[in-house]
Amino acid sequence: MSAARRLIVNADDFGRSHSINEAVVRAHREGVLTSASLMMNEPDCDEAVALARENPKLGVGLHLTLLCGRAALSCEKIPGLVNERGEFGDKPVATGFRYFWGAHAPRVQRESPRFALPLRGQLRAEIHAQFEKFRATGLPLDHVNGHLHLHLHPTVFRILMEDADKLDIRRLRWTRDRFWLNARLASGRWLYRVSGAVIYRCLSSHARRHLERRGIRHAGATFGLLQDSRVDEVFVLKLLSCLPAGDSELYSHPSLDKFRHEFEALISPRVKERVNQLGIRLIRYQDL
């Protein structure tokens, strides 16, 4: 990587609520936000798509949702993934283990058509359905990532890599935060941050060789993963001053209500001034 510093500033959960949609668009127009990750099955997805069309310089990617959200397919087609309301499980650890062990368990033969596909087949069908819904928007696919980073779950990631050409995956979030740098920038919640750093390192190490083999581009680090919705102005200013050379991503959850502090960090005049002073180039995934 060159000595130049380039930064993707991304907002997750685009389409989940009107508050998030407004924050994303304002942070893009008034601040440093360059891209957003779209949840296809949430209540305000259509509004988010309309706003994206009005702001063509905003890079929009797919925020693949297989946990804590709604499915694209009906519960009859993916009964092993969702409840009768079409909702995925809301317990990340339990759901993650179920996706792993369920996908590797021997197929159980049942007479009911509800069980026509094993769990791995249901995951593949839902993943393809969400990609198809994104294609139907007509928006260019800037990148792919997952809600709660489930795109690097071993079972999900294997499906994505097997079907990368069909799904036209060209750029994907690589979940590697730099723990020791984060330790210098923030304090507290050490158990969460240490355990998160270990998990992300294991998943990203496994993923890297597959991404390189397929020529799928990614940033060299994703900052904010260990902050858990605490990407405030103080953190961003500190990060910018020690941003490593090459391409990085700053991941955030701006909204006008619950995470307003993240929105305010992205539109902060001090943050914009620091970016300009340091000569950091703001980019989208499609610019990698």
What percent of the chain is helix, strand and coil (3-state, nearest 5)? 50, 15, 40
Encode pLDDT of 58-115 as tens digits.
999 999 999 999 999 999 999 999 999 999 999 998 998 899 887 665 544 443 444 4
* Residue 22, domain extent: 5-287
CA-based radius of gyration for the chain: 19
List the one residue out of 127, 107, 121, 215 whose CA is nearest residue 167: 127
**Residue 2: what pLDDT?**
47
For the segment 193-203, the average pLDDT, to the nearest whole number, is: 92
* Degrees, nearest 5: CA angle 182-185-187: 85
- What residue ranges in the chain does DSSP mark as E strands? 5-14, 35-38, 59-64, 144-146, 222-223, 246-252, 281-283
Close Cβ partners of 106 (under 8 Å, ≥ 6 residues apart): none
Does the structure show a pLDDT above 90 at 228? no
Chain-centroid distance, C-alpha 126: 17
CA–CA dist 7, 276 (Å, integer):
12
Residue type, 212: E
**Residue 73: what pLDDT?**
97
Encode pLDDT of 130-172 as tens digits.
999 999 999 999 999 999 999 999 999 999 999 999 999 999 9
Q: Which residues of 79-105 are buried (b: 16+ CB within 10 A; e: fewer)?
A: bbbbeeebebbeeeeebbebbeebbee
Whole-prediction pTM = 0.92
C-alpha separations of 46 from 49, 135, 169 in Å: 5, 13, 23
Q: Which residue has the higher pLDDT, 107 or 207?
A: 207
What is the domain-level CATH number for residue 180? 3.20.20.370
Overall number of domains in the chain: 1
